């Protein structure tokens, strides 16, 4: 096990800058998730740690050792890819044992380790099968077993669950979390799925445009997003974001007036409020008056989209909510749960 550090790392492909001055420190045993939209530089970051891509500038350290010039095989990392990368002509046992074979470990030692790794991911009875004779979830487990068969210093996982159906993804997510906890191996995990990031990570690095936007615990990222990008990216449904002005301690937008403990220094801001922090009131009794635009039963709640002035806000209502299209409705917001962002810079103000 080991820490992983990226210090001032940059990556350019020709004239295109994919990563700009990345500083990232992953503690020994930590589960760190790189989260962001397509093209933000997650995979490139991981490939540089693995040694599959060279950093244009900066230093990469594994266990305190500079590895910029080390070959992938000398970095003692194990990767799990989105498409699993299994060898089709090899059996499950041969696939799992491959990292041992290339390191010259054979005989009963290899056999024993393969068996133990397979048992950990409940593949014991399938060791003789070929990958084509397995389900997607079973293939995924073979890839995991191959990663854990020799306790590397670091696991690197690149969207390992994205080829699985929704139900299996939830099951495998818990398995990965349990396995990482049990083995305690430092893990860097790439995903564009915020639920995966929030549920798995000790800390999440939210990336956009080759820059880390925020690096913190899932709770902190959800409760105190550092800027508009993070606020809009994390949460389902996404945070309500309403452009407006603060004047005399009151937030004002067309059709919306919210009095609260706003900073005296006003100006143009974006007010953020999550759907669960918005409550529904009778018409005339809320700080936001509007009409029902749509209501959607999600199972345990109803998401009510409300048109108010020029904005649309989503409130999470109890499942008993009844309100037809266009009916008048009022909303109140929990003043303590309001997020404020600078309109010009997108940065969090409060």
Q: For the range 216-223, what are the long-range contacts, defined as Cβ-Cβ under 8 Å and sequence gap of 24 or more?
A: 222/198
CB of 155 to ligand ATP, least distance (A): 17
Nearer Cβ to ligand ATP, position 20 or 291? 20
- Please, are residues 117 and 152 in contact by the beta-carbon 8 Å criterion? no
Q: Specify the residue, 193 or 343, whose C-beta has the smaller distance to ligand ATP.
A: 193
| 173 SS3 class | helix
Q: Report the nearest approach of ligand ATP to the CB of residue 191 (Å).
A: 8
The site for ligand ATP (CB under 6 A) is made up of 13, 16, 18, 36, 38-44, 192
* Nearest residue (CB) to ligand ATP, 158 versus 277: 158
Nearer to ligand ATP, 16 or 325 (CB): 16
Token pair of 274, please?
Answer: 């999550």
Strands (E), the chain: 4-13, 16-26, 31-35, 57-62, 65-66, 77-80, 154-158, 186-191, 203-208, 211-216, 240-247, 250-253, 256-259, 267-273, 278-281, 288-297, 302-308, 311-317, 328-333, 339-342
Token digits of residue 3: 């820490």
Question: CB 44 → ligand ATP: shortest distance, Å?
Answer: 3
* Residue among 19 and 258 whose Cβ is closer to ligand ATP: 19
Cβ neighbours of residue 344 closer than 8 Å, sequence gap 6 or more? 268
**Residue 213 vs 275, nearer CB to ligand ATP:** 213
Give 43-92 as a DSSP string: HHHHHHHHTSS--SEEEEEETTEE-TTS-GGGTTEEEE-TTTT--TTS-H
Distance CA(184)–CA(154), nearest Å, equals: 10
Q: Is 214 or 295 the residue whose CB approaches ligand ATP more closely?
A: 214
Smallest gap from Cβ 348 to ligand ATP, in A, equals 23
Find the helix packing angle between 92-101 and 136-148, rounded to 10°. Answer: 20
CB of 88 to ligand ATP, least distance (A): 24
Minimum Å gap between C-beta 80 and ligand ATP is 15
| Residue in the structure block whose two tokens are 């801001």 | 269
* CB 278 to ligand ATP: min, Å: 31
Distance (Å, whole) CA 147 – CA 102 = 14
């Amino acid at each position: 096990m080991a820490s992983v550090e990226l210090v001032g790392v940059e990556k350019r492909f020709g004239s295109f800058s994919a990563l700009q001055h990345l500083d990232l420190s992953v503690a020994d045993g930590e589960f760190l998730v790189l989260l962001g939209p397509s093209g933000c530089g997650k995979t490139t970051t991981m490939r540089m740690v693995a040694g599959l891509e060279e950093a244009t500038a900066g230093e990469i350290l594994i266990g305190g050792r500079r590895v910029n010039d080390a070959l992938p095989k000398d970095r003692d990392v194990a990767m799990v890819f989105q498409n699993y990368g299994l060898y089709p002509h090899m059996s499950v046992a041969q696939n799992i044992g491959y990292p041992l074979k290339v390191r010259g470990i054979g005989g009963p030692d290899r056999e024993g380790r393969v068996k133990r790794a397979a048992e950990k991911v409940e593949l014991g009875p399938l060791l003789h099968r070929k990958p084509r004779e397995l389900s997607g979830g079973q293939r995924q487990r073979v890839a995991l077993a191959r990663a854990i068969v020799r306790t590397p210093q670091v696991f690197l996982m690149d969207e390992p669950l994205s080829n699985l159906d929704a139900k299996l993804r939830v099951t495998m997510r818990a398995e990965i979390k349990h396995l990482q906890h049990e083995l305690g191996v430092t893990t860097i995990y790439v995903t564009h799925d915020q639920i995966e990031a929030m549920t798995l990570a000790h800390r999440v690095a939210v990336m956009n445009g080759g820059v880390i936007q925020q690096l913190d615990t899932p709770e902190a990222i959800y409760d105190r997003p550092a800027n508009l990008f993070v606020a809009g990216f994390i949460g389902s449904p996404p945070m309500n974001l309403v452009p407006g002005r603060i004047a005399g301690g009151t937030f004002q937008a067309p059709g919306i007036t919210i009095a609260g403990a706003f900073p005296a220094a006003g100006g143009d801001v974006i007010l953020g409020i999550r759907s669960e922090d918005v409550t529904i009131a009778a018409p005339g009794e809320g700080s936001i008056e509007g009409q029902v635009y749509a209501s959607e039963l999600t199972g345990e709640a109803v998401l009510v989209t409300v048109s108010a002035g020029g904005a649309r806000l989503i409130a999470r209502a109890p499942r008993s909510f009844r309100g037809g299209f266009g009916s008048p409705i009022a909303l109140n917001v929990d003043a303590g749960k309001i997020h404020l962002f600078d309109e010009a810079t997108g940065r969090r103000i409060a």
